[in-house]
Structure 1
C-alpha cells in the first residue's frame, strides 16, 4: 500500500526537506492539493522506491511533473508499462511511445532553497523579456541534450533499452530554472526545435499575416547554440517533445478544489492570458475565473496545458493517436506550424489561494473582476 506523499521519507527530518514541500505540507490552503496528489499517487508505480524522497527534497518540481503527466496519460486511457525505471513511462497498445521527463533547474551551485519559485505568482513577467527568453532556450536545450546524451551502465540510450526498442521516444520538459521560468510558452521552444520562427505583419486590409523566418542560432550574452534541434543528427531518435508550463502545484490545487477536496474557508482564483480565436489577433486575451464557479462539464483536466511538438525528421515518428489528448504541433511543408487545440489554451496564468472564512469566495470573485477590468484593453 502506498504511503502518503506527505509522510516524511524514512530518516528524513522535516528541516532537511525542500522549502516548497514544507510549504505545501503545512499550508491549510493546500488541503485540496495534498489530497489530490495523494489520490493520484495511490496508483503510481514507484519502481525504484525513490519517488517520495525526491518529491520531498531536491527533486520536488520534477516529481510533480511526473505525477501530472502520469495522471494525464491515465486520464486518456493509455495502457502504461511501469515495470522498468527508465524511461519514466512506456505507453503500450496500438500506438506505443516511450516518455522520459526532465526539467530545467537553477544554475549549478544555486540550491532550490535559494530560488523562490513561488514568487512567480507575484512576479510572473520577467524584468527583461528578451534576456529571459534567451535563457529559457539555453536551459531547455541543455535539459533536452542531457537526456539525448545519457547512457546507462550498459551503454544504452533510452531508445536502445531492450523493452523500448523500435518504440518512438519522446522527452517531456518543463522549466524551473528561475522564478519566472513558467512564463514561457511553446513559441521560443518551437523556434529552437524547428529552426523557424513566425514573424507577424499586416497586409493592406490590416489582416494578420505570418511569415516564416529561418533561425540558425540562439545567442545568450557571449554564448551561442545552434537552432533546429530536431534536424540535427543527435535528435534523429527523438520523435517529439512534450512541453508544459502548467504541470505544477497550482494545477493540483485547482483540480482538487473543483472536486471539493478543499476546506470551505478557502477559495481559488485563476487569472492570466489565453489563446485568442480571432484570426487577425497577434496578442492573447486576458481571462479570469474562480475555481468551481461552473459545472462539472467544464472542470480542468490533467491533459490541459500539455503540448506535443513532433519531429518531422525522426527515424521512428509517433503514430497517429499516440498522444491525441494533448495539443498537437506539426511542421508543415511551407514552414508554418499547424497547431491542433484540444483544450482551452491558457498560455500563462497565476493561481491565487484565498483564505478568509465565508468571505473567501467573494474576495476571490472581486480579485478576478479587478484583474479583468484592469486588462480590458488588451485585445
Structure 2
C-alpha cells in the first residue's frame, strides 16, 4: 500500500465532524459504531459498527458526493472478527479512492448552499463574519462550517445574507443548535417557514425555535458592571429585560400554534442565546433562571449554616421598564415546554470543535479556561485551563442548560438533550441536575504564531 493510500484509524470526533450532519429524516438504525478510518485528508472515511439486532459486525465506506456531502458508497456485512472487518473496510476504501469520481457520484446531488459566497458589499459584512472568513485564528471553525453547510437548508431564503451581515450571531446560534440535535442522535427536519427544527428520535418528536437577545440602540447600551452593587442590578434587573422581549415575542407569534402542519401534541422548545453585548452571556444564566421562574436563589445563614433559599420575584424594574417576572406563568406560556440556553454556543465553540477534529492550523494555539463541575460527579465546582488540540474532549452539548416549564402542556423528556443540565420543579421546589464536568462559564484565548 503506497503512502498516498494509507488508511489511518481516527477518533469518533473527527469522523463525526464530517458525517454527523448527514442524519436526515427517519429513525436512526440500531447500531453502535466501534472503529473509524480515514484516507487523508478526509478523501474516504470508514466506520465499523455492531448491528444491535443480530450482534454482527458490519461497516460502511463513505465519500463526499459531487455536492460535497459525505454519503455511503459501500457497505460490508456480517463479520464476527473485528480485525477482519477492519482490514476488509480498509481495502474497500482503497478501491473507492482508485475510482474516486465514479464511485462517489450518487446521481441525485442537489447543489449545496455556500455560506461564504459573497452576497453583500464588503462594507456591509459583519465583522465576525469577516473574521471567520479571513482569520487564521478561525481556520478550524471555517473548515468545520464548510463541511456542515453542505447539509444545511436555507430554510427561509435569507440565511446566507443574514449570516454574512446583520444576523451573524443569530445564525451561528441556529447552526450550533442543529449540531447539538445531530450529536444527540436525532433526525432533524427544518420545517418551512418555522419553527427552525423538528427533531425526531427514540424519545419522541419535538420542535426547537431559536432566538437571541440582540444589542440595544447605542444610546441605550449598558456597560458591564464593576462594583458589587452594579453587578446585582445588572443581573437581577437589567438582564431580564434583554430576555423578556425575544421570549415574549415567541408567545405573541400566534402563527406557531395555528400554522398548518404544526403538531400541538409534541413539545415546543425555545432556545435563546444572549448576544446583546460582548461577553454578556457569561452573566446571563442566573438572570434567565430568575426571569423564567419568577424566583431568585439567595444564600441565607440559619443555625450557623449557609443555605440556598428561593425568594419570589414578582416584578422586574429597570428604568422605565416595569413588567411581571416569571415567563412560565404568562398566558400561553404553557405551550412552551422548555427554554434552552448555552453561553458557550458561539463561534468560538465551532473553533474548538474544529481543532479537536483535526481541522486546525498548526500556527494557532487555543487555550480554553473557565469553571466547570468536577468530573467525579461530586457536584463541586473547579477552575480549569486546557490547551485545545486534536483529540481534545468537548461535546456540542457541553454547557447547555434546559429550563423545564412546570406548567407545560407537553413536557419535554430529559433524554431529548442527553448530556445537558436540567432545571425543573419537583414537589413545589426548583431542582437542578448537572452532568459530571458540566461547563459553567469559559473563555478561549487564541494565539496565532507568525
* Shared fold (TM-score, shorter chain, > 0.5): yes
Deviates more, 1:337-346 or 1:192-201: 337-346
Shift of 1:87: 0.1
Per the alignment, residue 198 of structure 1 pairs with 297
Q: Are 1:307 and 2:393 matched, yes or no?
A: no
Q: Are 1:221 and 2:319 matched, yes or no?
A: yes
- CA deviations over 1:142-197 (Å, ceiling 9, x no partner): 1100111114xxxx235754233322111100011122321224222111111122
Q: Do the aligned partners of 1:21 and 1:60 also contact (CA within 8 Å) in 2?
A: yes
Gaps of 5+ in 1: 116-122, 358-379
Rounded to whole Å, the distance in 1 between the matches of 2:296 and 2:377 is 20
**Of residues 281, 295, 302 in structure 2, which corresponds to 1:182?**
281
Rounded to whole Å, the distance in 1 between the matches of 2:448 and 2:174 is 29
Q: Are 1:89 and 2:197 matched, yes or no?
A: yes
Rounded to whole Å, the distance in 1 between the matches of 2:413 and 2:356 is 34
Q: Which has the higher contact order (CA 8 A, sep 6+)?
A: 1
Per the alignment, residue 328 of structure 2 pairs with 230
Rounded to whole Å, the distance in 2 between the matches of 1:19 and 1:77 is 33
Per the alignment, residue 377 of structure 1 pairs with none
**1:274 partner SS:** strand
**2:395 partner SS:** coil
Rounded to whole Å, the distance in 1 between the matches of 2:181 and 2:379 is 34
Rounded to whole Å, the distance in 1 between the matches of 2:328 and 2:218 is 30
Per the alignment, residue 245 of structure 2 pairs with 142
Distance 1:196 1:3, change over 3 A: same
**1:321 partner SS:** helix
Per the alignment, residue 360 of structure 1 pairs with none
Q: Are 1:107 and 2:216 matched, yes or no?
A: yes
Rounded to whole Å, the distance in 2 between the matches of 1:101 and 1:110 is 27
Distance 1:232 1:49, change over 3 A: closer
Rounded to whole Å, the distance in 1 between the matches of 2:195 and 2:262 is 10
Count residues with an aligned counterpart: 333
TM-score in terms of structure 2 length: 0.68
Shift of 1:66: 0.4
**Of residues 421, 437, 444 in structure 2, which corresponds to 1:327?**
421
Shift of 1:240: 0.6
**1:224 partner SS:** strand
Rounded to whole Å, the distance in 1 between the matches of 2:242 and 2:177 is 21
Rounded to whole Å, the distance in 2 between the matches of 1:36 and 1:251 is 11
Per the alignment, residue 368 of structure 1 pairs with none
Distance 1:320 1:334, change over 3 A: same
Per the alignment, residue 366 of structure 1 pairs with none
Shift of 1:312: 0.8
Rounded to whole Å, the distance in 2 between the matches of 1:178 and 1:234 is 29
Per the alignment, residue 234 of structure 2 pairs with 132
**Of residues 152, 160, 164 in structure 2, which corresponds to 1:56?**
164
Q: Do the aligned partners of 1:159 and 1:237 also contact (CA within 8 Å) in 2?
A: no
**2:362 partner SS:** coil
More strand by share: 2
Distance 1:225 1:351, change over 3 A: same
Rounded to whole Å, the distance in 1 between the matches of 2:276 and 2:284 is 14
Shift of 1:234: 2.8
Rounded to whole Å, the distance in 1 between the matches of 2:444 and 2:246 is 27
Per the alignment, residue 19 of structure 1 pairs with 127
Per the alignment, residue 68 of structure 2 pairs with none
For 1:249-268, list aligned pairs within 5 A.
249-268=347-366
Rounded to whole Å, the distance in 2 between the matches of 1:253 and 1:65 is 14
Gaps of 5+ in 2: 1-110
Shift of 1:301: 0.9
For 1:226-375, list aligned pairs within 5 A.
226-275=324-373, 284-292=381-389, 296=391, 299-319=393-413, 321-335=415-429, 337-342=430-435, 344-356=437-449
Rounded to whole Å, the distance in 2 between the matches of 1:110 and 1:204 is 48
Per the alignment, residue 33 of structure 2 pairs with none
TM-score in terms of structure 1 length: 0.80
Shift of 1:313: 0.6
Distance 1:21 1:171, change over 3 A: same
**Of residues 178, 185, 188 in structure 2, which corresponds to 1:77?**
185
Shift of 1:14: 2.0
